[in-house]
């Protein structure tokens, strides 16, 4: 189930079951003239769509930023450095772990 679509009661029940949490992550960047800027995060989001109905799986909101050092010189690249992405994902994981412990 998607975390963003849960009510507080649904989230409480889901987190009590020690779920698998999926965090789709991908860059926003150029893919030539033919590709969408969001390809790198749309693919993980699409894959998450196919597991969100699996028992005991929670899909967190997609993080549309990643690390894309190979295209620093291109325009329209929205990226985080590796360290910033690591911190962001760690923060998200910590937040989700805290939700497991909360009495919602």
The CATH number of whichever domain residue 21 belongs to comes to 3.40.50.10310
User: Count of domains in the chain?
Assistant: 1
Q: pLDDT tens digits for 20-59?
A: 999 998 888 877 788 888 888 999 999 999 999 999 999 9
User: What pLDDT score was predicted for residue 82?
Assistant: 81
Least Cα distance to 29 among 60, 75, 91 occurs for 75
User: What pLDDT score was predicted for residue 76?
Assistant: 61
User: What pLDDT score was predicted for residue 33?
Assistant: 82
Range of the domain at 84: 3-101
- Burial of 3 from C-beta contacts in 10 A (0-12 / 13-18 / 19+): buried
Spatial separation of the C-alpha atoms in residues 63 and 85, rounded to whole Å: 10
With a cut of 90, say whether residue 8 has pLDDT above it. Answer: no
Q: pLDDT tens digits for 63-89?
A: 888 776 665 555 566 667 788 888 888
Spatial separation of the C-alpha atoms in residues 73 and 84, rounded to whole Å: 19
7-11, 69-73, 92-96: which has the minimum mean pLDDT?
Answer: 69-73
User: What pLDDT score was predicted for residue 48?
Assistant: 95
């Amino acid at each position: 189930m998607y975390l963003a679509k849960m009510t507080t009661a649904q989230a409480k029940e889901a987190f009590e079951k020690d779920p698998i949490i999926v965090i789709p992550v991908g860059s926003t960047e150029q893919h030539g003239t033919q590709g969408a800027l969001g390809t790198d995060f749309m693919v993980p989001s699409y894959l998450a769509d196919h597991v969100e109905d699996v028992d005991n799986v929670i899909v967190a909101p997609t993080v549309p930023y990643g690390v894309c050092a190979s295209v620093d010189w291109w325009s329209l690249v929205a990226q985080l450095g590796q360290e910033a992405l690591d911190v962001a994902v760690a923060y998200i994981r910590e937040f989700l772990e805290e939700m497991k412990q909360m009495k919602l």
